[in-house]
Amino acid sequence: MLRVWQAFGLQPHRQKHFKLSPDPSFIEKVRDIVGLYLNPPDLAMVLCVDEKSQIQALDRRQPNTPSYASWLNQVEIWFNIIMQQAIRRGSFRSIKDLVAQIEHFVKRYNASSKPFVWTVTADSILQKVKRLCEYISGTGL
């Protein structure tokens, strides 16, 4: 696949915009997810798990999770940190070397890390989606 991307100059990993979800319940799901981030139940921890294209779930327990909405998952922040700070410019001779680099980075990172804190409201997200839709359709700015 990499050879095809290179042959045509494709760089999907550098996409600057999220894909708009076709999920008919998208708005309700955004409000539910962001609501949990902003106001989690007492003594609770909110966890997100993203399905990476290389690691497909064989039997989804929640088949109606918001499609094209992985950017709502805070785990994406963590993947981005690992990519930018641990492996982006690296050269690894084996999977074992790559795993060792990630484990070394995680150990260093965890020594001074703080929990991710979600600060954006569902309304602000939905306003941005609305502006994007208006821009794409030619009715906005």
Residue 37 lies in a domain: yes
Q: What is the mean pLDDT of residues 37-43?
A: 83
- 100 or 89: which carries more pLDDT confidence? 100
- Quote the pLDDT of residue 37: 82
Residue 130 lies in a domain: yes
**Is the domain of 112 the same as that of 81?**
yes
Range of the domain at 140: 31-41+120-141
Report yes or no: 50 and 73 within 8 Å, Cβ to Cβ: yes
Task: For 43-72, write each residue's pLDDT tens digit.
Answer: 877 665 555 554 444 455 555 565 556 666
Residue 100 lies in a domain: yes
Measured in degrees and rounded to the nearest 5, phi and psi for residue 115 equal -60, 150
Residue 51 lies in a domain: no
- 108 or 46: which carries more pLDDT confidence? 108
Where would I find the H helices in 39-121? 75-82, 95-110
- Quote the pLDDT of residue 102: 92
Considering its fold, how many domains does the chain have in total? 2
**Is the domain of 124 the same as that of 109?**
no
- Quote the pLDDT of residue 77: 80
Residue 57 lies in a domain: no
